[in-house]
């Protein structure tokens, strides 16, 4: 009933061979929303708002979940995405045909067209590409037909627009950006599991760590420099900090060589983890920086360190950065600041080309106060910071999320038997674990529980301090505590569960200094002793 486009020729046009192209109001609204949606964080609540704004009456109100990997999730079958893509593709083709017929786009419509085309190109040629890890060593060959089809579409869409039809460099960069979007989405979607709001925020934050909050600016200029910005991941032990680091490391920008029709390097082998708490300072230096022959006893040959071995699109993951010796912190500060370092026993300066991702379950502000962590190193690391939520935070928001997490664990430890093992573990947990158990070991403890149930059909949890909790709660119920005493007892209890001042501050809605001042050390000691 409604034409997608209304083409009007203006009688007062300065050039009779050209006319202005006017889009129907409902399609104008669609394109305005799509222009923002095309560069929107896919894991954000804003994406859902833009989908509804773009589709209007065609919006499927039952399809309103944030992206998360659940038992029912199929990323290829979201109705609203399918409707958006079909309509975007149709409008792009009609705009292209109108331009071919001599119609002229005004400045705003041209801007909308320039946002529309990458969206269409992504869903036509990139979204369906096999995930690089799954396609194995032949994945570069798999990409070549996709590139050829992509470049043909690119040439046709931009033939008389803002980019030259023969600008292979611009096309190759767009292809590289869109393929990075594909990889980043899959890594975040597959690595960061959970349906709760805290985990949804985590996925959104990780996406920003890769692309920033402004993806247009990233595409224009930041794609080549974001690896110079370190990322610090904090959170309680067992909350998946390494999985977050892996998602970030595996999602960096890769240059696409249009002439050779392949990426300049493999997207795999980008993640290089090093657990600092497991090594002595000398071994850490050797592993990180490498060493020259004879630089210390046992150094019988030159050694390439991880900073040198890391590829430009990869990342070195420094786990337990809070345990790092002060002298090595100084050397790493130089890497973060100037991107340079020397091997042990050498004076030759080398350049680090990858990204630094660090993680800790310690409160680094507290470590700085104690003189165990350099404040200048901390401020360099925390320019981009991510905090992983505890399992108790996730379950407090969405208790039913426990079942999904159990199932994903069962898939990994009992392939082929996941359904039965997950059902058995979930039934045992609900029937035997203490009500409101806080899972102090977080996801790692939940995995251990599922393994124990698999092997012995039982699990002995870490003792929960029921007596102490009853003590201060009873005092509160009887009105025997002042407001300050109640706040101190509750703050101490939450600190015993979450483990860091910052996590408690976030939970209670106060600053970390308030948390620190309210900790009752005597009560804390009794709680920890059980």
Contact predicate 335/228, CB 8 Å: no
For residues 268 and 168, give the distance between their C-alpha atoms in angstroms, rounded to a whole number.
25
Rounded Cα–Cα distance for residues 248 and 202 (Å) = 12
H/E segment holding residue 256: strand 256-257
Regions of the chain with pLDDT less than 50: 1-20, 71, 134-135, 163, 165, 465-469
Report the 10 Å Cβ neighbour count for 336.
18
Contact 20, 104 (CB under 8 A): yes
**Residue the block writes with tokens 């292209």:** 96
Question: Which of 263, 268, 258, 249 shows the shortest CA–CA distance to 131?
Answer: 268
**Residue 477: HSE in the Cβ half-sphere, 13 Å Cα cutoff:** 6
Run of H or E including 359: strand 355-360
**Exposed, middle or buried by CB within 10 Å (0-12, 13-18, 19+), for 253?**
buried
As to burial, measured by CB atoms within 10 angstroms (0-12 exposed, 13-18 middle, 19+ buried), residue 8 is exposed
Q: What Å distances lie between residue 5 and 17, 96, 103, 124, 481, CA to CA?
A: 20, 12, 12, 22, 71
**The predicted structure's pLDDT at residue 228:** 94
Complete DSSP assignment for 44-87:
SHHHHHHHHHHHGGG--TT--PPS---TT--TT--HHHHHHHHH
Task: For residues 420 and 438, give the distance between their C-alpha atoms in angstroms, rounded to a whole number.
Answer: 25
Q: For position 18, what pLDDT does the model report?
A: 33
**Cα–Cα distance measured from residue 87 to residue 80, given in angstroms and rounded to the nearest whole number:** 11
Count Cβ atoms below 10 Å from residue 101 Cβ, excluding itself: 10
- How far apart (Å, rounded) are the C-alpha atoms in residues 90 and 75? 22
> Can you read off the two tokens belonging to residue 13?
């046009």
CA–CA separation, 411 and 414 (whole Å): 6
Q: Which of 113, 80, 155 is nearest to 5 (CA)?
A: 113
Q: How far apart are CA 63 and CA 86, in angstroms?
A: 17
Structure tokens at 61: 């109100």
298 CB-near residues (< 8 Å, 6+ apart) = none
Q: What angle do CA 396, 397, 402 make, to 5 degrees?
A: 70
Q: What is the pLDDT of residue 77?
A: 66
Q: Which of 174, 205, 173, 175 is closest to 188 using CA atoms?
A: 205
Residue closest to 286 by CA, chosen among 270, 310, 302: 302
How far is Cα 36 from Cα 111, in angstroms, rounded to an integer? 11
173, 256 contact by CB (below 8 A): yes
Torsion angles phi and psi, residue 359, rounded to 5:
-145, 150
Give percent of the chain with pLDDT exceeding 70: 89
For 414-471, write each residue's pLDDT tens digit.
998 999 999 999 999 999 988 778 898 999 999 999 999 999 999 988 755 444 445 6
Q: Which distant-in-sequence residues (6+ apart) come within 8 Å of 462 by Cβ?
A: 440, 441, 445
Specify the pairing of strand 355-360 against strand 231-234.
Answer: parallel
pTM: 0.83
Beta bridge partners of residue 6, listed in sequence order? 22
The CA-CA-CA angle for residues 52, 55, 60, to 5°, reads 65
For 126, which DSSP code?
A: I
3-state SS, residue 469: helix
Cβ within 8 Å of residue 147, ≥6 positions away: 175, 256, 258, 261
pLDDT at residue 17, as a whole number: 31
Q: Which residues contact 351 (CB under 8 A, 6 or more apart)?
A: 339, 340
């Amino acid at each position: 009933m409604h034409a997608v486009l209304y083409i009007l020729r203006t009688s007062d046009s300065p050039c009779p061979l050209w006319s202005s192209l006017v889009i129907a109001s409902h399609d104008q609204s669609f394109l305005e929303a799509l222009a923002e949606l095309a560069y929107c964080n896919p894991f954000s609540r804003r994406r859902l708002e833009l989908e509804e704004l773009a589709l209007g009456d065609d919006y499927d109100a039952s399809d309103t979940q944030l992206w998360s990997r659940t038992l029912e999730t199929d990323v290829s079958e979201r109705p609203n995405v399918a409707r958006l893509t079909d309509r975007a593709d149709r409008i792009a083709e009609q705009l292209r045909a109108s331009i071919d017929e001599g119609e002229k786009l005004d400045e705003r419509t041209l801007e909308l067209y320039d946002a529309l085309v990458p969206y269409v190109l992504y869903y036509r040629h990139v979204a369906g590409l096999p995930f690089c890890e799954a396609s194995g060593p032949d994945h570069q060959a798999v990409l070549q037909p996709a590139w050829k089809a992509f470049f043909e579409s690119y040439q046709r869409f931009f033939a008389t627009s803002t980019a030259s039809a023969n600008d292979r460099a611009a096309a190759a960069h767009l292809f590289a950006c869109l393929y990075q979007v594909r990889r980043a989405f899959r890594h975040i979607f597959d690595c960061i599991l959970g349906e709760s709001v805290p985990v949804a925020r985590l996925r959104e934050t990780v996406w920003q760590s890769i692309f920033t909050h402004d993806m247009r600016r990233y595409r224009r200029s930041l794609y080549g420099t974001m690896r110079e910005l370190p990322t610090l991941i904090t959170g309680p032990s067992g909350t998946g900090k390494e999985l977050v680091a892996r998602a970030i490391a595996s999602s960096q920008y890769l240059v696409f060589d249009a002439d050779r029709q392949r990426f300049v390097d493999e997207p795999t082998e980008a993640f290089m983890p090093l657990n600092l708490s497991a090594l002595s300072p000398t071994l850490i230096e050797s592993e990180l920086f490498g060493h020259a022959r004879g630089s210390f006893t046992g150094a019988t040959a030159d050694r390439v360190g991880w900073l040198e071995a890391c590829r430009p699109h990869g990342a070195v993951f420094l786990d337990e950065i809070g345990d790092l010796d002060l002298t090595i912190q100084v050397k790493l500060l130089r890497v973060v600041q100037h991107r340079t370092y020397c091997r042990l026993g050498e004076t030759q300066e080398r350049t680090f080309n990858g990204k630094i991702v660090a993680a800790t379950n310690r409160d680094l502000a507290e470590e700085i106060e104690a003189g165990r962590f350099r404040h200048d190193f901390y401020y360099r690391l925390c320019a981009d910071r991510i905090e992983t939520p505890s399992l108790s935070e996730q379950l407090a928001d969405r208790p039913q999320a426990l079942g999904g997490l159990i199932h994903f664990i069962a898939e990994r430890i009992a392939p082929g038997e996941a359904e039965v093992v997950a059902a058995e573990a979930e039934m045992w947990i609900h029937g035997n674990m203490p009500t409101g158990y806080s899972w102090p070991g977080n996801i790692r403890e939940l995995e251990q529980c599922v393994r124990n149930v698999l092997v012995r059909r039982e699990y002995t949890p870490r003792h929960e301090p029921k007596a102490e909790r009853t003590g201060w709660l009873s005092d509160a119920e009887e009105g025997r505590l002042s407001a300050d005493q109640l706040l101190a007892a509750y703050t101490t209890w939450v600190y015993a569960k979450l483990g860091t001042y910052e996590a408690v501050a976030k939970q209670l809605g106060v600053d970390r200094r308030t948390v620190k001042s309210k900790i009752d050390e005597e009560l804390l000691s009794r709680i920890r002793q059980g």
